[in-house]
Chain A
């Protein structure tokens, strides 16, 4: 189960409902044993990707390969994948063990074998005591775990999870995230997890695939997506960010300046050849995280500008300041996040301050 071999590959997969296209020429490789999250706003086509892989819907064009073999036309009940549905889809007339054992009993395994594996699966999801209950007698989180046990008992090559945590409350969702991740580590099965919640994605995924309007915008580790977004959409969608529009200046050893309403901002372009190759004067954004922005002191020279504090919001461990920076007619709304302090904030609302961010903490995205 090396993470470097591809389990499943989507090759220029497209899908339309009638004349409405929902997926445009998707290429995606899922590695064996990884936890891949497909993240996107509603209508981005993320659930469609999952339904195509699961065999719930046919492709319009393209190919899905499992171990290099085309499975686009393989019927749903023959695919070695199992799905955890958004509303769990537990069979209401069967007990928990009936639900969990369903995939085995339709394959005509021996009763004893089924009972043993159902027991193991229920232990794994910590529901051993609930074997004889009916789904209606369980809480949301318990149903969720039954659905997971039911999906993994058939030892599928890939488990597809369709926003399974959406119906749970915040605390339970956090617990389930950790739980899912630990189960995935334990059984070493590939997970494909669909969600619109970027916090959920950061928390669990080995890699994240960001989708928008039927396209894959970026595929990478959570760290890559956070610090090196490759387009405006990802930069804005994934975590809080400050984006300032401007025009690119000439490359200077690993950095590139951008002329903006806040003056000349210098940002790192390391490992991003497309930013190096972009022509001078091209439209782009300087992107820097709220936690990268800070109050400037006398030694700071780069990326320095002034702004007035419009609002201060205490958020527990951190305090977020909303700042209007630059000339009045072209003021930029920026956010600054800093650790909270017991003796109050160093900032006051209405105050004008001098701000900066380090070039290596800044980033460019092409417009």
Chain B
């Protein structure tokens, strides 16, 4: 009797420990660092050393200095564009995958996801050489007669960042869209046919709306990854391709102004959280699931 009781007590202690761990891990590794960032954003810097006195100076600087807000806004526009391009390219790809049968479907899906396994830096170098003055894109356009001579339009500017980020992030858009398309029960499509709808009507009225949650999560995924990226703009953006990520990087790296960098991070985090919430909300708005 008492033996059974102590086993029970031990089990209860163990399950309490597991519960504590389940809460502790995300708190320690995610929430606490974020909170530290938030706290740092209210400190100041004096000649390279952090002054631990609360101030709103960093935020005032962010909103009043003519440099930061335009870059912030342009970066958001850039990343929204990246998300739109990724969706437009990924949706047809994912759709055609779902029309394939059995083994081919997953084999080709894996093939589309293989670039994720390669080094990020190598991929950026590769894309840069494609976009460059003597790159494949220019050669192809000249050969096709679209351009008279190689153009510098595609490298070391905003266009280059846009194209590179889109190419890099497409796999992240394909996967959620593919999964949402695959989850649509085939009988719904047959029911639509049965009720007299044409193939296009079935796509527009059944397939497309039912795959929108996947599109929403793909868009927020790509947007969040794009806006947090500083390496790609650094490598292909040149001088004119200045993004918020690069400013952030410079505050921590070269300017050594951690509190201001932290304030900029907070601004970025707010946009990221908003994007995730919007993606989730939009994904659920028709959320009367089956």
Q: Which residues of A contact B (CB under 8 A)?
A: 54-56, 76-78, 81-83, 85, 87, 89, 91-93, 102-103, 106-107, 134-137, 150-151, 154
Q: Is B65 an interface residue (CB 8 A)?
A: no
Q: Which of B185, B190, B195, B286 contacts A106 (CB 8 A)?
A: B195
Q: Besides A56-B194, A150-B195, 13 other CB < 8 A contacts?
A: A54-B194, A56-B190, A76-B190, A77-B196, A78-B196, A81-B194, A85-B191, A89-B188, A91-B188, A103-B196, A106-B196, A106-B201, A154-B195
Q: Is B19 an interface residue (CB 8 A)?
A: no
A-B contact pairs, 24 of them (CB 8 A): A55-B193, A55-B194, A56-B194, A76-B193, A77-B193, A77-B195, A77-B198, A78-B196, A83-B194, A89-B187, A89-B190, A91-B192, A93-B209, A102-B192, A106-B192, A106-B196, A106-B197, A106-B198, A107-B196, A134-B288, A135-B288, A136-B288, A151-B195, A154-B195
Q: Is B206 an interface residue (CB 8 A)?
A: yes
Do the beta carbons of A89 and B209 come within 8 Å of each other? no
How far is the CB of B283 from the nearest CB of chain A, in Å?
12
Do the beta carbons of A92 and B289 come within 8 Å of each other? yes
Q: Is B105 an interface residue (CB 8 A)?
A: no
Q: Which residues of B contact A (CB under 8 A)?
A: 185, 187-188, 190-198, 201, 205-206, 209-210, 286, 288-290
10 tightest Cβ-Cβ pairs between the two chains A and B:
A134-B288, A103-B195, A89-B191, A106-B197, A89-B187, A136-B288, A76-B193, A92-B290, A93-B286, A83-B194
How far is the CB of A86 from the nearest CB of chain B, in Å?
8
Q: Which residues of B contact A106 (CB under 8 A)?
A: 192, 195-198, 201, 205
Q: Which residues of B contact A83 (CB under 8 A)?
A: 190-191, 194
Do the beta carbons of A89 and B196 come within 8 Å of each other? no
Q: Which residues of B contact A91 (CB under 8 A)?
A: 188, 191-192, 206
Q: Which residue of chain A is the closest to B199 with respect to CB atoms?
A: A77
Q: Which of B185, B194, B201, B288 contacts A93 (CB 8 A)?
A: B288
Q: Which residues of B contact A92 (CB under 8 A)?
A: 188, 210, 288-290
Q: Which of A54, A81, A93 contacts B210 (CB 8 A)?
A: A93
With A and B bound together, what is the CA distance between A135 and B187 in angstroms? 15
How far is the CB of A58 from the nearest CB of chain B, in Å?
14
Identify whether the interface residues of B are mostly helix, strand, loop, or mixed. helix
With A and B bound together, what is the CA distance between A137 and B287 in angstroms? 12
Do the beta carbons of B195 and A85 come within 8 Å of each other? no
With A and B bound together, what is the CA distance between A56 and B193 in angstroms? 9
Do the beta carbons of A137 and B288 come within 8 Å of each other? yes
With A and B bound together, what is the CA distance between A92 and B198 in angstroms? 19
With A and B bound together, what is the CA distance between A135 and B193 in angstroms? 19
Do the beta carbons of A87 and B187 come within 8 Å of each other? yes
Q: Which residues of A contact B290 (CB under 8 A)?
A: 92, 135-136
Q: Which residues of B contact A154 (CB under 8 A)?
A: 195-196
Do the beta carbons of B187 and A85 come within 8 Å of each other? yes
How far is the CB of A88 from the nearest CB of chain B, in Å?
9
Q: Which residues of B contact A55 (CB under 8 A)?
A: 193-194
With A and B bound together, what is the CA distance between A77 and B210 in angstroms? 21
Q: Which residues of A contact B191 (CB under 8 A)?
A: 83, 85, 89, 91
With A and B bound together, what is the CA distance between A102 and B206 in angstroms? 11
Q: Which residues of A contact B286 (CB under 8 A)?
A: 93
How far is the CB of B194 from the nearest CB of chain A, in Å?
5
Q: Which residues of A contact B201 (CB under 8 A)?
A: 106
Q: Which residue of chain B is the closest to A76 with respect to CB atoms?
A: B193
Q: Which residues of B contact A82 (CB under 8 A)?
A: 194-195
Do the beta carbons of B195 and A102 come within 8 Å of each other? yes
Q: Which residue of chain A is the closest to B187 with respect to CB atoms?
A: A89
With A and B bound together, what is the CA distance between A106 and B197 in angstroms? 6
Q: Which residue of chain A is the closest to B210 with respect to CB atoms?
A: A93
How far is the CB of A166 from the nearest CB of chain B, in Å?
14
Q: Which residue of chain A is the closest to B185 with respect to CB atoms?
A: A89
How far is the CB of B205 from the nearest CB of chain A, in Å?
7
With A and B bound together, what is the CA distance between A283 and B290 in angstroms? 54
With A and B bound together, what is the CA distance between A107 and B192 in angstroms? 12
